[in-house]
Amino acid sequence: MEPKFRIASITDEFSPADPALALDQMASIGMTGAELRVLFGKNVMDLSGEEMSRLRDMLQGHKMEAISIASPILKCVLPNAPEIDTRFQQDIFNSKHTFEDQPALTEKAFGIAKFFGAKIIRVFSYWRTVDPEKCFEPVCNALADLAVKAAREGLVIGIENEHACNIATAKEASHLLNAVQHPNLKLVWDPANALCSGESPYPGGYALLPKDRIAHVHVKDCHMDGHKPVWGPVGTREVDWKGQIAALAEDGYKGWLSLETHWPGPGNDKFLASTICGWNLRGLAAM
């Protein structure tokens, strides 16, 4: 059966070093979209001009659309904020940018997005502190500023609910989107991240979200062992992906379902893990 939604993946979930290998496998599964995060062993923000050109040729050769720049923007410490909540793992994906780097990082992300024709730049909300509410106003200010800048470039800022950042749950994301009404600020909805944050992502969390502000959906699956997520094959753990995807269809979602495997796989074979999860995603997207 053909998927009812377009399906995609973050390429480094298949291979962080060899995007051609990743794109080959993604295409064989039926994926037509690619999110760009770590390529040639580098964060997308650090690619050379020659590497960007090679990658664009690869994408075109695979008839693959670049759909999102999975940037590390605002994945840093907010100055003068409460202390960092150390319960949550901070994944940096070969990026070590600081608060002071954010303006230059933003301009570079805009240029990379335009080079590849990607419309969404994924961003965050600073590393999560022990008192996220005290960070809410500066997070809103930063995202409002990004949205204004993105609008000038015809781009969308996609704030991801990330369990290691200050906007982690659907409840927090809804609060943010209500506070910042700019049309170029939308949500990258990640149900598994909400689960990691102690929220029931579907149906409870999803019911809180403004459906017209969901620009993109990340797909992965886990169950929780205390505060630690235990990742597994998509559709086999605690996220109700059948219900979530059916609800997205009913609510008129037109974006992508994009794999972000996380599961290390049988024998720590991440390529195999992403292949399994990719086929599972294709099946779920066709139901």
For residues 94 and 142, the model is more confident at 142
47 — pLDDT class (breaks 50, 70, 90): very high
Q: Which residues pair with 228 in a beta bridge?
A: 225
Phi, psi dihedrals of residue 54, rounded to the nearest 5°: -60, -45
Could you tell me the fold of the domain covering 6-285?
Answer: TIM Barrel (3.20.20)
pLDDT above 80: residue 90: no
Rounded mean pLDDT, 118-145: 98
Angle formed at CA 142 by CA 163 and CA 94, multiple of 5 degrees: 50
Q: Are 284 and 5 in contact (CB under 8 A)?
A: no
- 0.75 exceeded by the pTM? yes
Burial, 183: exposed, middle or buried (Cβ in 10 Å; 0-12, 13-18, 19+)?
A: exposed
Q: Where exactly are the structural domains of the chain?
A: 6-285
